Amino acid sequence: MKRLLLITYNWPPRAGVGLTRPWKWATFLPRYGWEVVVLTPEGAPSQIQCDPALGDLPGVEVLPVPFKTWRRQPAATPQPTVLAAPAPQRPRQPVPAWKRLATEILATPDDLWPWYGPAVAAARQRLAQGDIHAIVSTSPPETVHLIAHRLQRDFQVPWVADMRDLWSLDHFRARPPWKLALMRAWERRLLNRADGLTTVSADWIAAERQLLQPGPAEQVVIPNGFDPEAVAKTEPTAYAPFTVLYSGKLHGRHQDPRPFLEAVAKLHARHRLDARQFQALFYLYGSEQPDLVQLAASLGISDLIRVCPPVDPQTILAHQCGAHVLLLVHWLGPNRQGWFSAKVYDYLGAGRPILCQGDPDEAVCRMLTETGAGFSAPDAAGLAARLDAWFTTWQQTGSLPWSVPEAALAPYTRQHGTAQLAGLLDRLTIRA
């Protein structure tokens, strides 16, 4: 069996959306002939925490290297054993221009750069044993790619750069023009030396190919996916009223839930929805959330909208499987083409109809249409019409059917994505 060095910031007890991709790869790669050694920072901060024991996977060797950062760190706190909500956000105070500039300079390419030296030193000792056949670095943060490139150069081991989010073309992280130019030059120089490149959508692969011109010879789309084995072990939550559920982060600056709320308000005004038969649940975590309570109150639907505290992943999966409709709110802003929320794959696994607030031409909306997994509309009128139709079906039959062929879902499982990665690694190691 071959052995992979997987370099990732996200590893238990650090949780959140960035954990699942490397954690599932490490879980399933042995099925495809690859054992995994995980290089990860020890003691690094994370808003979302999970049980550290989740990192103890059979056959997976974890190489923790003490975390280093240039930022002042808060005092350590006990690690919870389930997902924990972040502390309430204080109102932001204006940051002086000199301090913003200093922060941008120091966080180049990101906050993880002081970890580069210790991580390279520890990885060199491990690679010196001679049993590592390939390297995968998964970002953000992008310092992991700098580490991987140094090891590739020193040990002549094939390297795959994986991007869960893009680097200089990122849809979320705003950068001043001088830093964006620096990041693009750095990205071109570094990633053109990788042996393989993976990311989550075809649009993002195309964007990287245009930026890198041409980039690594091997460029593969590996969607995030869902785990059908985990779904099969889940007992769905039983909901009496018709339930629409949203789970995960909701960024107030880039995801506007008002069209959905206005759709609910339209149906409520027509006496189609009331609190006895309908509820919309929002299980939210993360900062910069919109004020859903205030928005619902302004539309007169406070009794229909509930904002719930975060729960652990297994519980939210049970809620997803039991809900009648799962809500997705598309991203707004630059570089959104090709964006796929990781939660859409959890929704696919849950096997419930997906209502997507977004333009039908967006990549995730096209995927929902092609698989038959859901419906997309950008405005309140379109969302209200579909929600009314589904609610009527539920009233008449007591259920809401969802029949998507297994073959349509197969490309979006974590197992399929891991098999894609293993195939790429096999090809690269044969050439090496």
Q: Which of 177-181, 198-202, 223-227, 275-279 has the lowest mean pLDDT?
A: 177-181
Average pLDDT over residues 245-261: 90
- What's the pLDDT score for residue 41? 95
- What's the pLDDT score for residue 87? 41
Q: What's the chain's length in residues?
A: 432
Q: What are the structure tokens assigned to 118, written together?
A: 């210790």
- What's the pLDDT score for residue 146? 97
Q: What are the structure tokens assigned to 310, written together?
A: 């975060």
**Fold topology of 228-404:** Rossmann fold (3.40.50)
State yes or no: pLDDT of 230 exceeds 70.
yes
Q: What are the structure tokens assigned to 362, written together?
A: 């967006």
Average pLDDT over residues 304-323: 92
pLDDT (tens digit per residue) in 144-162: 999 999 999 999 999 999 9
State yes or no: pLDDT of 85 exceeds 60.
no
DSSP-assigned states of every residue in 251-320: -TTT---HHHHHHHHHHHHTTS--TTTEEEEEEE-SSS---HHHHHHHTT-TTTEEEE----HHHHHHHH
Give residue 174's identity as a one-letter amino acid code. Answer: A
What is residue 230's three-state secondary structure?
helix
Angle (nearest 5°) at CA 327 between 325 and 332: 160
Average pLDDT over residues 326-341: 81
Average pLDDT over residues 226-240: 94
Give the N- to C-terminal CA distance of the chain in Å, as an integer.
16
- What's the pLDDT score for residue 432? 64
Q: Which of 39-74 are b and which e, b meaning 16 or more Cβ less than 10 Å from the residue's Cβ?
A: bbbeebebbbbbbeebbebeebebbebebbbeeeee
DSSP-assigned states of every residue in 168-229: TT-SS----HHHHHHHHHHHHHHHTT-SEEEES-HHHHHHHHHHHTT--SEEEE----B-HH
State yes or no: pLDDT of 93 exceeds 80.
no
Q: Which of 274-278, 340-344, 379-383, 391-395 has the lowest mean pLDDT?
A: 340-344
State yes or no: pLDDT of 255 exceeds 90.
no
Q: What are the structure tokens assigned to 76, written together?
A: 């350590």
397 vs 335: which has the higher pLDDT: 397
Cβ pair 358, 367 in contact under 8 A: no
- What's the pLDDT score for residue 86? 39
d(CA 290, CA 432): 50
The confidence band for 313, taking pLDDT boundaries of 50, 70 and 90, is confident
Domain extents in the chain: 2-90+111-225+413-431, 228-404
Whose CA is closest to 386, among 271, 293, 378? 378
Taking the whole predicted model, whether its pTM rises above 0.95 is answered as: no
Element (H, E) at 420: helix 414-431
Give the highest mean pLDDT range of 87-96, 162-171, 377-386.
377-386
Q: Which of 8-22, 83-97, 174-188 has the lowest mean pLDDT?
A: 83-97
Check for a shared fold between 2-90+111-225+413-431 and 228-404: yes
372: region left, alpha or beta (phi > 0 left; psi from -120 to 50 alpha): left
Which residues, 6 or more positions from 85, have their beta carbon under 8 angstroms from its beta carbon?
Answer: 285, 309, 310
Whose CA is closest to 63, among 45, 87, 43, 41? 41
- What's the pLDDT score for residue 49? 81
State yes or no: pLDDT of 200 exceeds 60.
yes
Burial of 236 (0-12, 13-18, 19+ CB in 10 A): middle
pLDDT (tens digit per residue) in 206-220: 999 999 998 999 999
Give residue 165's identity as a one-letter amino acid code. Answer: D
- What's the pLDDT score for residue 310? 81
pLDDT (tens digit per residue) in 55-81: 999 989 999 999 877 666 544 333 333
Q: Which CATH class is domain 2-90+111-225+413-431?
A: alpha beta
- What's the pLDDT score for residue 92? 58
d(CA 23, CA 29): 10
pLDDT (tens digit per residue) in 103-117: 777 777 888 889 999
- What's the pLDDT score for residue 189? 94
Q: What are the structure tokens assigned to 157, written together?
A: 């081991």
